[in-house]
Amino acid sequence: GAGVSQSPSNKVTEKGKDVELRCDPISGHTALYWYRQRLGQGLEFLIYFQGNSAPDKSGLPSDRFSAERTGESVSTLTIQRTQQEDSAVYLCASSFDRGPYNEQFFGPGTRLTVL
């Protein structure tokens, strides 16, 4: 496809369950980012992948959060033992490389609701 895609678009889960969110970046984009956007809040950086380098996990809020990326392709964000405060829109973005002027292209997001 032409843009970044994310699935599912909406996810409702019960507190304590695990969830997996998927991101398919634009083909050829070596950099991939995950952000969290809580209702009425700005974007909170979670994790950043760049090529084969070790990911920058400095934004992950707790050890319940983890993410993986297969090569320079799809990424999965996993939240274990979900809590109500995890409810948010999770946004994925990709860019061509880590060059400073390269813009990020965002997916439509996954809206996660934890009951």
Partner 1 sequence: AQSVTQLGSHVSVSEGALVLLRCNYSSSVPPYLFWYVQYPNQGLQLLLKYTSAATLVKGINGFEAEFKKSETSFHLTKPSAHMSDAAEYFCAVRDDKIIFGKGTRLHILP
Q: What residues make contact with partner 1 under the rule CB under 8 A? A: 4, 33, 35, 41-43, 45, 48, 50, 56, 91, 93, 98, 100-101, 103-104, 106-109
- All residues at 6 or more sequence positions from 7 whose CB lies less than 8 Å from its CB, including other chains: 21, 22, 24, 110
Which is nearer to partner 1, 49 or 82 (by Cβ)? 49
With residue 75 as reference, give the H or E element that holds it.
Answer: strand 75-79
**In the complex, least distance from residue 110 CB atom to partner 1, rounded to whole angstroms:** 11
**In the complex, least distance from residue 84 CB atom to partner 1, rounded to whole angstroms:** 22
Q: How far apart are CA 45 and CA 43, in angstroms?
A: 6
